[in-house]
Homo-oligomer: A and B are copies of this chain.
Amino acid sequence: MGEVRFIGIVEETRDEKAKIRIYPEFKSGLKGIDGFSHIIVLYWIHLRDTEKDRSTLLVYPRRHKVNIETGVFACRSPSRPNPIGLCVVKLLEVKDDSIIVKGLDAIEGSPIVDIKPYIPAIDAVLDARIPKWLTSSTNSENDRQ
């Protein structure tokens, strides 16, 4: 087992924007982040940090036209062995210990686990293949960036 330390918190969400506050002791880790247009946010899905959710391995993903039983490692279910959410977001503003982002799917109060810069050369795979059952559901998610 590993120990996760929370480095910050989702302090506020409004419309599509979210304000992430990084705790003072981790603030210097943000140096240089303003050079990136997008970042990857790893957050703790704290409301799913329950034994029931963490032992869930098969789900019926919502928002899909066809309901197919799917493994949690084959979808973005918030119920999974480790309640870690991953979201690619647009970085709008960095000021002191806070960063404003667009498109974060975490809720207010979610602890932040890590922030990584988004590097297209290693993170962007435009032609990655997805299953047909997913194809019909990703249009709305497209709007997030």
Contacts and interface: CB of A to CB of B under 8 A. Distances in A.
A70 interface: yes
A128 B57 contact: no
Interface in A99-142: 111, 113-134, 138-139, 141-142
A11 interface: no
Contact of A32 (B42, B75, B86, B121): B75
- A contact patch SS: mixed
A9 to B, nearest CB: 13
A30 interface: yes
A95 interface: no
Q: Which 8 A-B pairs have the closest CB atoms?
A: A35-B131, A31-B71, A37-B129, A2-B4, A32-B74, A121-B138, A33-B74, A73-B115
30 contacts: A1-B4, A2-B49, A2-B83, A2-B111, A3-B3, A3-B4, A4-B4, A4-B82, A4-B84, A5-B54, A22-B73, A28-B57, A32-B69, A33-B73, A35-B129, A35-B132, A35-B134, A38-B125, A39-B73, A42-B82, A42-B84, A42-B86, A73-B116, A73-B117, A81-B114, A87-B122, A119-B130, A120-B126, A123-B124, A124-B124
